[in-house]
Amino acid sequence: MDNSKQNERLSILAPSLYLLNLLILPGIAFLILLYLFIKYRDSSDPVARIQIQQNFYASIIAGIAILGISFVIILIGGLSSMYSWMVMLIYFVSIHATLVLFGALALAKGINHQTFIYPGLSRLSKDTNTG
């Protein structure tokens, strides 16, 4: 496979794995994304590199946001409080939907071989002016 086709596939694969991690295969898709991040983080193609970096970091932050904050809500309110469960459920559904929407936008950009910079993650990519 030539290098340009591989870079196009990487720019689609990274957000696809991010979405798979959120929706269908949590953990497994993240491990595959981790492998891609380690292998291609210094890729010569800036679009593929930024897509891999952004989706890897977004997956970490998504895990912290979903699991960490949900745990804190239960820790503060207790397992037996219906208000804790109500707040956690509203938080979980809202943040999860937002993260999936960002993943869909990243995938749309990746299909067009453009970069997508997640809100708040612009400093993590060296060349954010691509795409």
- What gap in Å lies between CA 91 and CA 70, rounded to an integer? 8
User: Per-residue pLDDT tens for 77-112?
Assistant: 988 999 999 999 999 999 999 999 999 999 999 999
What is the identity of the amino acid at 31? L
User: Per-residue pLDDT tens for 29-61?
Assistant: 999 999 999 998 887 788 989 999 999 999 999
The mean pLDDT of 20-24, rounded to a whole number, is 95
How buried is residue 97: exposed, middle or buried, by Cβ count under 10 Å (0-12/13-18/19+)? exposed
Which of 21, 34, 18, 29 lies closest to 102, judged by CA? Answer: 18
The mean pLDDT of 6-19, rounded to a whole number, is 93
**Proportion of the chain in helix, strand, coil states, percent, rounded to 5:** 75, 0, 25
- What gap in Å lies between CA 100 and CA 70, rounded to an integer? 17
Asked if residue 54 lies in contact with residue 116, where contact means CB atoms within 8 angstroms, the answer is yes
Taking the model in full, what pTM does it have? 0.87
